[in-house]
Amino acid sequence: MPLDGRFGPVETRVAGLNARYKYHGATAVLEHALRDRDVGRVALVSSFGAESVVLLHLLSVVSPHTPVLFIDTQMLFPETLAYQKTLAEKLYLTEIRTLSVTPDQILAQDPQGNLHKSNTDACCAFRKTAVLESALSGFDAWITGRKRYQSGTRADVEFFEADGDARLKINPLAHWSPEDLQDYIINNRLPRHPLVAQGYPSIGCAPCTSPVKQGEDPRAGRWRNTTKTECGIHFINGKMVRKSAKDAA
C-alpha cells in the first residue's frame, strides 16, 4: 500500500500522470516525477549496465541526491562492479545503495552457486527480485531505464506504469531510440561500460549473459537459448508483477 495512504488507485494515478506528461521529454518527465505529489517517494534502480549511464547522468543533473538502488547479485561481471564505482565518482551520485543477499541466505538457498544452471527464474527471484522488493518497501515509485525498442515485451512501455497494486514505475527513456542514447553518451562525453566494445549491448549476470552478433536483438545475449526474456523485476508471464524465490522454484 502507499506509504502514507494519501494516494488514490494506482491505475488512476498512472493514467493521470501519462496524460499530464504525454508530450514531455525525458528530462522533464524525470524532473516532474521527482516532485509530483501523485508520485511520492522515489528511487532510481540501476544495473549499471550498457546504457545505464544515460539515466544516471540525467539524474545527476536533476537531483544527484536521489537514492540509487544497485543490486549486486554477486554474479556480476567484474567490469560492471568497476563501472559502478567509476560512475558514482564521476557523476557525484551521493546516495547509491548496494543491495545483496546475505551469506546466510546464500548458504540456505544456493550454497554451490549453481542455481542459475537448474532454474534461472528461481535464481533471479532469489538474488534480484526479492532483494529489490525489500528495498522498494520504503518508496512509492521507482525509476527504470526501460525503453520500447528493447524487446517485444517492452514495445508498449509508457512513461508511467503500475507496479503491483500501489507502487509506480517511471520510465523517462521509454520513447528513446538506440541512436538517441548513443548521441547522448557522445555529446556528454560519458564513459561506456567496458563490455559494450566486446559485443555486449545488454549486460546482466556473467553466467547468463553472452555477446550479441550483428543483426541480433540487443537482448539476445540474455539467457540465450531459453524462452526467458526478463529477470522478473518487470514482467512475469507478461504481467508487471514479481515472484518470490518460493514461487519461482
Indicate if the alpha-carbon torsion angle 163, 18, 157, 94 is positive or negative: negative
Under 8 Å between Cβ of 73 and 100:
yes
* Rounded-to-integer distance, Cα 11 and Cα 9, Å: 6
Phi, psi for 183 (deg, rounded to 5):
-60, -40
Helix 52-62 to helix 178-187 angle, to the nearest 10 degrees? 60
Could you give the 3-state DSSP secondary structure of residue 31? Answer: helix
Sheet holding 167-170, edge to edge: 96-99, 68-71, 42-45, 141-143, 167-170, 160-163
The one catalytic residue in 123, 124, 205, 231 is 231
Instruction: Note if 123 is an active site residue.
Output: no
Is the CB of residue 129 less than 8 Å from the CB of residue 236? Answer: no
Active-site positions read: 231
